[in-house]
Structure 1
Amino acid sequence: MADQFDYDVLVIGAGPGGYVAAIRAAQLGLKTACAESRETLGGTCLNVGCIPSKALLHASEYFEAAAGGKMAAMGIKVKPELDLATMQGQRVDAVKGLTGGVEFLFRKNKVDWLKGLATFKDAHSVEVAGKTVTAKNIVIATGSSVTPLPGVAVDNAKGVIVDSTGALELDKVPGHLVVIGGGVIGLELGSVWRRLGAKVTVVEYLDQILPGMDSDVRKEANKIFRKQGIEFRLETKVTGATVKGKKATLTLEPAAGGEAEKLEADVVLVAIGRRANTEGLGLDKIGLALNQRGQIETDHDFATKVPGVWAIGDVIPGPMLAHKAEDEGIAVAENIAGLTGIVNHDVIPSVVYTQPEIAGVGLTEEAAKAKGSVKVGKFPMLANSRAKTNHEPDGFVKVIADAETDRVLGVWIVASVAGTMIAQAAQAMEFGATSEDIAYTCHAHPTHSEAVKEAAMAVLGKPIHV
């Protein structure tokens, strides 16, 4: 590429989308740099999101299995003692190892890490730590941050009203944790602290948890989590909060209007969603406006309307998921290099890492029916031999197929390993599989994935084990 620039590609942001884009661009022979203001690479996902939350989820599952009788039922009798400091320490170690791994990959692939916040000067230059850097192509991959809730001020340092970052770093188990928001983040972190002994109340503005997911999944999740001890206050809004000492008092009102009430908590987790990180980029200097949701619009190749400026991940429309950003990072680098980088946004799986896990890909039954006639097959995990043997009876697999072509339109799973099982469904859909294709594919026995086969057989009206 042209020699008048410092770099062929400059990526702003080193989260899953940004660091993958930078590595792939370098692999393709492009001189590449990545600007990141955080002290470590990996963005929200590796530092304060996906990875540390999974470290606590996994550890808390072990604790509950030992304390709650599940292990005793298998003949393993123990009396666990919670060492929260050690549990938090292994979380920190996991983050350190993985963020250090990205730094190693940058060195291996000769990606320059520009340490600082990048701000546009024009379409081909940015300022980083007081220095001007130029690039033929600039990729915006700045991710997202927590959406604030008016009237409820987050202060992670005090540890009373916190966001997802603060909820990961609590130094003691709260007596009563109130989660504002019944989405993925709130349910995952709420489940961590419930397993460790907290009373957990989830306040959700809508009439059901997990917005956007299949209705059967939402109902099943509600039932399972209630059985686990989580209290739900649905169709309820939080209009204010006060903090006195180490306690918070929330003001709640019915979503449809009505009399207000108070709810006291030791810790309040604000988890109502995330918003694109575009502030401070200087987009006005390059004439790049945001859409109504504060996101950057791109074409199919991830190019913005400004030549030479591209965008991926949470700053553009679509689900705010690390794996979506990663795929877009690969695609944008390949497009810049003159190859063909494509992401099929119709086949992006989503996972909730509660216990059991919840996963889905493609259309919900409601969305599929809005497009035409469908066939649906369901199979309960209670009838799956591996799940039953493992004392994991909750959940089901649901396959939605086109009534005429039998092509799979969506798959939804509630199961202990749903996050792993959904990969088969995503790959099948990527290749245009029918439910019959899945039904006639031999699955190893005994595995949880046999439930996917049985659900596909149910679409055809011939499941075996129910």
Structure 2
Amino acid sequence: METKFDIVVIGSGPGGYASAIRCSQLGYKTALVEKYKALGGTCTNVGCIPTKALLDSTEHYHTAETKFATHGILTGKLSLDFKQLIKRKGEVVEQNIAGLNFLMKKNKIEVFEGIGSFLNNSELNVKHNDGNSTKITSTYFIIATGSKPATIPGVEIDKQRIITSTEALSLPEKPKSIVIIGGGVIGVEMASIYARIGVEITIIEYFDSLIPTMDKDLGKELKKIFTKQNIKILLSHKVQSAKNNGKNATVSFLDASNNPQEITADYCLVAVGRKPYTEGLGLENTNIEVDTKGRIVTNEKLQTKAENIYAIGDVVAGAMLAHKAEEEGIFVAETINGQKPHINYKLIPGVVYTWPEVASVGYTEEELKEKGIEYRVGKFPFSASARARAAMEKDGFSKILSDPKYGELLGMHVIGPRAADLIAQGVIGMEYEVTDEDMFRISYAHPTYSETLKEAYMIASGQGAINI
């Protein structure tokens, strides 16, 4: 087995595999090191892909339960095969892993299974699961080892009753109740999955809004929608501890008035974010530095303090998003190649795959206020959309923020059906500095969800909306 390479990528998540493929395309002899048997990292195995598979499955069930009769579709008594739900999720994951294996072979990328640990700036020891080791040398290295679930003081994850999203994706049977610590992206997506199939859900969030890093209007609207779905939401509450009782778990917390409270549920799901994963990498044997949050320090080229070693994705600063990691992986490959690629981090969209979906790109209204930047707001509800009414999807809105002088787009925030797809238009508009007037002057098919964007652009530009 060859052990000398031009570029070695450590970690096979979206950032790692995208980077390895691009390196190979550019003519570099490339290797990929992955500690697990399956390629794909967190996103493919226990994150983005399985979560979306379950979100889609449970949305089908919820639609059948709550909307089919209105459409004139009578199913009789509805039932749920929870084991099949989980099995189907696993099949989707396996299909994606098979695709990645094919891409590695197609691009002639050597894959090493094992834990990669730096011996120095140019050598990596890979310890295999059978106990043997392989020493690899390379001109360049790209660290893409991702992240793992974080927790808070007083809450110890035992993977039995106090769990993370990883365990929540493969529960042995449908629970009766779950208390979720954290109302961010992971927390609300997991809440959606289980609430749709009749599980009693309580979200405990420290901040005063759900999805607190996104535009506040989105969090307010999502809270309204979740409340209609019988999800209990406790905002401005501080969790103190969680205890495994054997058959259930008890979470103790302080309410908004600082009064001690507790709640018991079948499971306590900890969804308070993720932290960089660099354990066992042997960074101490290199010139690489980490910051106080455990993130690898890089420059604008994503180059570490060791000039031949780069780092991307969740192990560096910035949003922990699969598509951000992919962009960075390709960026680094092309940078090593002498090209001058570009990433505008403000234009990397964020998406929450609840239903309705939530998507955001650019500045939030709160950020513009904080920076003292003048702006106009165009906001149009899906309840006024003919397409949304026909589909019984009237919750949510499209919101546009634009510059009052030139009409330049500053931000787009959507909560509604297919928001994850609609947000791409905002990314394009902002990347190429298109104005709000330019965006409403183009033709939109009728009836479509995208017309809510057209109306929001019109309102932001100062022209009244045309009700659709």
Q: What pairs with 1:91-240 in structure 2 (closer than 5 Å)?
A: 91-129=89-127, 130-156=133-159, 158=160, 160-240=161-241
2:255 alignment partner in structure 1? 254
Is the partner of 1:464 in helix, strand or coil?
A: coil
Say whether the 8 Å CA contact 2:378–2:459 is kept in structure 1: yes
Structure 2 stretches lacking a partner, 5+ long: 128-132
| Cα displacement string for residues 297-336 of structure 1 (whole angstroms, at most 9, x for unaligned residues) | 2222211121101011011111000000011111111111
Say whether the 8 Å CA contact 2:242–2:268 is kept in structure 1: no
Is the partner of 1:397 in helix, strand or coil?
A: strand
1:20 alignment partner in structure 2? 18
Distance in 2 (CA, whole Å) between partners of 1:223 and 1:265 is 23
Distance in 2 (CA, whole Å) between partners of 1:243 and 1:297 is 37
| Cα displacement string for residues 253-304 of structure 1 (whole angstroms, at most 9, x for unaligned residues) | 1366x33222111111000000011121111111222112211122222111
Distance in 1 (CA, whole Å) between partners of 2:162 and 2:274 is 17
2:55 alignment partner in structure 1? 57
Say whether the 8 Å CA contact 1:205–1:255 is kept in structure 2: no
Q: Where in structure 1 do 4 or more consecutive aligned residues deviate above 6 Å?
A: none
Query: TM (normalized to structure 1)?
Result: 0.96
- Cα gap change, 1:368 to 1:128, in 2 (>3 Å): same
Distance in 1 (CA, whole Å) between partners of 2:259 and 2:362 is 40
1:465 alignment partner in structure 2? 467
1:74 alignment partner in structure 2? 71
1:135 maps to amino acid: S
| Cα displacement string for residues 127-166 of structure 1 (whole angstroms, at most 9, x for unaligned residues) | 002221011000010111100233222222x3x2110101
Distance in 2 (CA, whole Å) between partners of 1:233 and 1:44 is 29
1:440 alignment partner in structure 2? 441
Count matched residues: 459
Is the partner of 2:203 in helix, strand or coil?
A: strand
Is the partner of 2:297 in helix, strand or coil?
A: coil
Deviates more, 1:14-23 or 1:435-444: 435-444
Say whether the 8 Å CA contact 2:12–2:41 is kept in structure 1: yes
Distance in 2 (CA, whole Å) between partners of 1:368 and 1:252 is 33
| Cα displacement string for residues 220-268 of structure 1 (whole angstroms, at most 9, x for unaligned residues) | 1111111111101111111112222211111111366x33222111111
Is the partner of 1:119 in helix, strand or coil?
A: strand
Deviates more, 1:344-353 or 1:332-341: 332-341
Distance in 1 (CA, whole Å) between partners of 2:333 and 2:341 is 8
2:130 alignment partner in structure 1? none
Say whether the 8 Å CA contact 1:301–1:341 is kept in structure 2: no
Distance in 2 (CA, whole Å) between partners of 1:207 and 1:369 is 18
| Cα displacement string for residues 72-98 of structure 1 (whole angstroms, at most 9, x for unaligned residues) | 111111132101111111100000000
Say whether the 8 Å CA contact 1:243–1:249 is kept in structure 2: yes
Is the partner of 2:78 in helix, strand or coil?
A: coil
1:357 maps to amino acid: E
1:347 alignment partner in structure 2? 347
Say whether the 8 Å CA contact 2:288–2:297 is kept in structure 1: no
Say whether the 8 Å CA contact 1:296–1:311 is kept in structure 2: yes
1:147 maps to amino acid: A
- Cα gap change, 1:5 to 1:174, in 2 (>3 Å): closer
Percent identity of the aligned residues? 44
1:367 alignment partner in structure 2? 367
Deviates more, 1:89-98 or 1:360-369: 360-369
Q: Tell me the C-alpha RMSD between the 2 structures.
A: 1.4
Structure 1 position 213, deviation (Å): 0.7
Question: Given the alignment of the two structures, is residue 83 of structure 1 paired with residue 81 of structure 2, yes or no?
Answer: yes
Distance in 2 (CA, whole Å) between partners of 1:242 and 1:112 is 45
Distance in 1 (CA, whole Å) between partners of 2:284 and 2:246 is 43
Is the partner of 2:152 in helix, strand or coil?
A: coil
Is the partner of 1:7 in helix, strand or coil?
A: strand
Q: What pairs with 1:240-279 in structure 2 (closer than 5 Å)?
A: 240-254=241-255, 258-279=258-279
Is the partner of 2:119 in helix, strand or coil?
A: strand
Structure 1 position 5, deviation (Å): 7.9
Deviates more, 1:176-185 or 1:75-84: 75-84
Say whether the 8 Å CA contact 1:5–1:136 is kept in structure 2: no
Deviates more, 1:28-37 or 1:284-293: 284-293
Structure 1 position 8, deviation (Å): 0.7
